Chains A and B, each alone.
Chain A
C-alpha cells in the first residue's frame, strides 16, 4: 500500500499562508460560474520575479502556466501584459491599484520564485482584489524544483477557488485512448497526460485493442477494457509500475468498468448469451455481485458520489435509456424521457447532475440532467460526441468528438472540453487522435 502513494510523495511540498494585507469591508470579487454565459473576467498576472537569471527564467515559466490555465477555464481573460502600467518588482508590497483599475483588471496575481542551495524552490504568490483594494489570498510553496509545473497548476487552482468559491481542476491528469492508423485496423493505446497536455506518455504498446480507461479515486490505477488474447475483459493497471491484471474471473466479456467513489469496488457489465448485466466486484474480498437481471442490455454503470446509487444505461424500455437504482440493484427507475436514445450516464462528483450522451435525429449530443431526470440541457453536439467525463469540481465536461465527414473522408476523433453552461468549447490538444477521456481527481 505504501508504494501506491509514491506519486503524491514525489510532489510533497510545504505551503504556508502568507500574511494578508489589510482586510477591508468592501464587497469582494466573486465570479458566478453557474448562471449561463458570462464574459470572462479580466485579470492581471504580473510576471513572477526572481533575483537572478535562473530564478527569472523559472518565474517566467510559472507565470506562463498560470496564465494558460486561467485563460483555458473560459472564466478569466488575462489582460495582455503589454497593457500593464505598473511593473511589479517587489511582489510583497501593495500594488498601485489605480494602475490596474484603469486597464480594468478585476484581480491581480503577483509572485516570486527563489531557489535555494539544496535545489529546492520557494514559490510565493498573492491574489489582489483590485477594486476592493485588498488581498484575497497569499501562499508560499517550498518544493523540489522539478515540481514547478504542479505548483503552477496549484496556484491556478488557488486563484480559481478564491474567485469562484469552487474547487479548481488544474492540478489533475487525463487518461485517454490515443488512436492511430486506418479505422479498419485502428491502433489504440492507453495514454496519460497532465490536464494541460504536458508529461504525455503512452501506457500500452498498441498490440491489444484497449478502450474506456477510468481513474481510481486515488489516481494510482486505471480500470479499462483490453482485448488481450482476443478476449475483451476489464483490467486494472497500476500507472506507476505498469502492472496489469484482470478484474475477477467472469464467464464472458466484461466491459464498461468504473471505480466506486471509495475505490474499493469496480462496477461493470458482464455479457453472456446475448445478455449484458451489471455487476459489482469488490477488489478486497474478490466477491462479485449481480445487480441487474433484465434479459437485454444493461451497461455503462456509474456510482453517485456517496456510493448509494447507480445510474446506468438499459434498453429494457425498447430503446437505450437512462435508469437509476440503489447500489444493491433495488428500486430501478427510468430518468430519461426526452426524444431520442440516451446512453453513457456519468454522475457528477458534486452529485447534482448526470451527464449523458444522446442520439436524436442523426445528431449526437452531450447533455446534463438532475439525478431525478429533471432540467435536461444539451451542452455540446456534433456528428459524433460521446462518453462525457467530469472535472473533479463538476463544472466542466470532457468528451470524445468525431468531426463531420468531409468529401467522404472520415472526420478526426479528438477530445473536447466544455463548461457546464455550454459555452467555451475547447479542444484538448493530444499528439494523436484521441477518445475516451477520463479526468482524475485533484492530485493534492
Chain B
C-alpha cells in the first residue's frame, strides 16, 4: 500500500513538474540551454539569448550580435564555474567542406570577442557544424538567415 501511495505521489509530482516546465523554458540537456517559443537562452530566466546571426558567407560580428554577446559576458561573469562550447553554423548555400571552415570561423569570432571582454579563453571551446545542423528547416531566405548563426552552449562534457 505504502509503495503504491509513494508511487502515485511521485507521478503527481512529475505531472506538476511537467506543467511548470511547459509554462517556463524547457531545458535541453545536451546543450544546457533553455528554449521557449523558438528562442534559446543560457539562463532559465530567459534574459541571456544564446544565438547570434551572421550575414551570408561572413564571420564578422554585427553590432546587434555584439550586443547579445555583451549580455552573455555578464552572465558568464556571474557564473564563473560554467564552461562554454560555442557552435558555429552555416546555411545550406555553400559546399559542405567550405561551410565546415566557415562555421569554425564564426565560432572563433565569438570566442575572440568573449575573451576580449575578459572571459578566460580556457573556459571557451568551439565546434563547427557547417551546414549539418540547421535551426530552421526550409530552403528559403528566412530559414537561411536563421541558420547562419553561432550558439553559445554549456560545455556539458567538461
Q: Are A and B subunits of one complex?
A: yes
Whole-angstrom distance between the alpha carbons of A274 and B140 in the complex?
Answer: 27
Beta-carbon contact of A320 and B134 below 8 Å:
no
Beta-carbon contact of A299 and B97 below 8 Å:
yes
Interface residue count for A (Cβ, 8 Å)?
46
B98 contacts A by Cβ under 8 Å: yes
Beta-carbon contact of B108 and A274 below 8 Å:
yes
Contacts of B140 in A (CB 8 A): 405, 408
Question: Known contacts A230-B127, A253-B128; is A299 also within 8 Å of B98 by CB?
Answer: yes
A256 contacts B by Cβ under 8 Å: yes
A383 contacts B by Cβ under 8 Å: yes
Contacts of A274 in B (CB 8 A): 59, 104-105, 108-109, 112
B77 contacts A by Cβ under 8 Å: no
A23 contacts B by Cβ under 8 Å: no
B102-158 contacts to A, CB under 8 A, are: 102, 104-105, 108-109, 112, 127-129, 132-135, 137-140, 157
Beta-carbon contact of B127 and A253 below 8 Å:
yes
A364 CB to nearest chain B CB (Å)? 9
Interface size for chain B: under 10, 10 to 19, 20 to 34, or 35 or more residues? 20 to 34
B100 contacts A by Cβ under 8 Å: yes
A387 contacts B by Cβ under 8 Å: yes
Beta-carbon contact of B59 and A359 below 8 Å:
no
- Across the interface, name the chain B residue whose C-beta is closest to A356: B95
B92 contacts A by Cβ under 8 Å: yes
Contacts of A271 in B (CB 8 A): 100-101, 104-105, 128
Contacts of A183 in B (CB 8 A): 134, 137
B141 CB to nearest chain A CB (Å)? 10
Interface string of A248-284 (1 = CB under 8 A from B): 0000010110000000000001010111100000000
A416 CB to nearest chain B CB (Å)? 16
A231 contacts B by Cβ under 8 Å: yes
Question: Known contacts A182-B137, A274-B112; is A253 also within 8 Å of B104 by CB?
Answer: yes
Contacts of A240 in B (CB 8 A): none
B112 CB to nearest chain A CB (Å)? 7
Interface string of A389-432 (1 = CB under 8 A from B): 00000000000001011001011000000000000000000000
Beta-carbon contact of A297 and B127 below 8 Å:
no
A384 contacts B by Cβ under 8 Å: yes
Question: Known contacts A253-B128, A387-B96; is A297 also within 8 Å of B157 by CB?
Answer: no
A295 CB to nearest chain B CB (Å)? 10
Interface string of B53-92 (1 = CB under 8 A from A): 0000101000000000000000000000000010000001
B80 CB to nearest chain A CB (Å)? 23
Contacts of A124 in B (CB 8 A): none
Contact among A184, A232, A256 for B135, CB-based, below 8 A: A184
A436 contacts B by Cβ under 8 Å: yes
Beta-carbon contact of B134 and A212 below 8 Å:
no
Beta-carbon contact of B97 and A313 below 8 Å:
yes
A2 CB to nearest chain B CB (Å)? 35
Question: Known contacts A408-B138, A410-B138; is A255 also within 8 Å of B97 by CB?
Answer: yes
B113 CB to nearest chain A CB (Å)? 11
Whole-angstrom distance between the alpha carbons of A276 and B134 in the complex?
Answer: 22
Question: Quick one: which of A274, A344, A404 has the most chain B CB within 10 A?
Answer: A274
Whole-angstrom distance between the alpha carbons of A102 and B71 in the complex?
Answer: 82
A135 contacts B by Cβ under 8 Å: no
Whole-angstrom distance between the alpha carbons of A225 and B105 in the complex?
Answer: 18
Question: Known contacts A231-B127, A232-B128; is A344 also within 8 Å of B139 by CB?
Answer: no
- Across the interface, name the chain A residue whose C-beta is closest to B92: A384
Beta-carbon contact of B96 and A212 below 8 Å:
yes
Beta-carbon contact of B100 and A184 below 8 Å:
no
Beta-carbon contact of A299 and B132 below 8 Å:
no
| Beyond A299-B98, A408-B138, 7 extra complex contacts between A and B, CB < 8 Å | A269-B100, A271-B105, A273-B108, A276-B104, A297-B98, A343-B95, A386-B95
Pairs across A and B, CB under 8 Å, 5 listed: A209-B132, A212-B97, A253-B104, A271-B105, A313-B98
Q: A: which residues have CB within 8 A of B?
A: 182-186, 188, 209, 211-212, 225, 229-232, 253, 255-256, 269, 271, 273-276, 297, 299-300, 313, 315, 319-320, 341, 343-344, 357, 359, 383-384, 386-387, 402, 404-405, 408, 410-411, 436
